[in-house]
Amino acid sequence: MDATRFGLFVAEMRKENHMTQAELATKIKVTDKAVSRWERGLGFPDINSLEPLAEALGVSVLELMKSEKIVETNIQCGDADIIVTDTIKAAEHQKQVERQQEKRMILITIGALVILSIFALLIDNIGWRMEDILFTSMGVVLPITSIIGFFVLLIISLIRRVRGKSCKQTLIVALVFGGIVVVTFLVMFVLALFAFPGQHDTNNFWFLVVLIARKIVI
């Protein structure tokens, strides 16, 4: 099934039914960006969206998959099977392409964060003292890069969702980075309890935060 032809057919049927992209999107419970992508020939709807889309456009599922109005009263079963098979293959191929693009974006982001971390360690620990390396990596580089990774991937996942693309993997990795930040702060709090006894616990925690802040500045 040709994506451009499919998109033109969807746009034509939508206009015949006097609907905007936003109105059509509301009817089939997708974003207007997704409808726009279909009409521009940049992708296909999910298999589960074909029936609601056909119903909203006032055509049969077979007509939607064939991307044309069917005039004949009887359709050969073989032709119908070919159309359905081609549609499923096209939709699955589109999903695979989007998943690969999403994985590539995640790997690029993680790679950039790793390079940033290594660069920060090299600059801060010229003497390669083990205690400085551990303090900088665990107390400074790890939480900062995790926070950056969390927000960058979260923004990417939101953008992909608005555009009607898959964003599940990106969101999961973003949550992993968020979890690393939470764990890091919990470890800092535990260290404040046991490594700096004799003061109020909250003061100990913020004492560690101040140490890390000074490490970043200095």
| Domain parsing of the chain, residue ranges | 3-75, 96-217
pLDDT score at 131: 58
CB half-sphere exposure, 166, CA atoms < 13 A: 22
Single pTM value for the model: 0.53
CATH code linked to domain 3-75:
1.10.260.40
Alpha helices in the chain (DSSP H): 3-16, 21-28, 32-39, 47-57, 61-66, 77-124, 130-136, 142-162, 168-194, 201-217
Tens of pLDDT, residues 115-173: 888 777 776 555 555 555 666 666 677 888 889 999 999 999 888 887 777 788 899 99
* Mean model confidence pLDDT for the chain: 76
pLDDT score at 166: 77
The pLDDT > 70 percentage for the chain reads 67
Residues 10/39, Cβ–Cβ less than 8 Å: yes
128: left (phi over 0), alpha (psi -120 to 50) or beta: left
206/218 Cα distance (integer angstroms):
18
pLDDT score at 70: 73
Tens of pLDDT, residues 185-208: 777 766 666 655 544 444 444 455
Range 40-49 average pLDDT: 79
Long-range pairs of 143-147 with CB within 8 A, sequence gap ≥ 24: 143/180, 143/181, 143/184, 143/185, 144/216, 145/113, 145/116, 145/117, 146/177, 146/178, 146/180, 146/181, 146/184, 147/177, 147/181
pLDDT score at 151: 93
54/64 Cα distance (integer angstroms):
6
pLDDT score at 201: 47
Distances in Å between the alpha carbon of 21 and those of 58, 119, 127, 159?
Answer: 15, 47, 61, 18
Terminal CA-to-CA distance of the chain, rounded, Å? 61
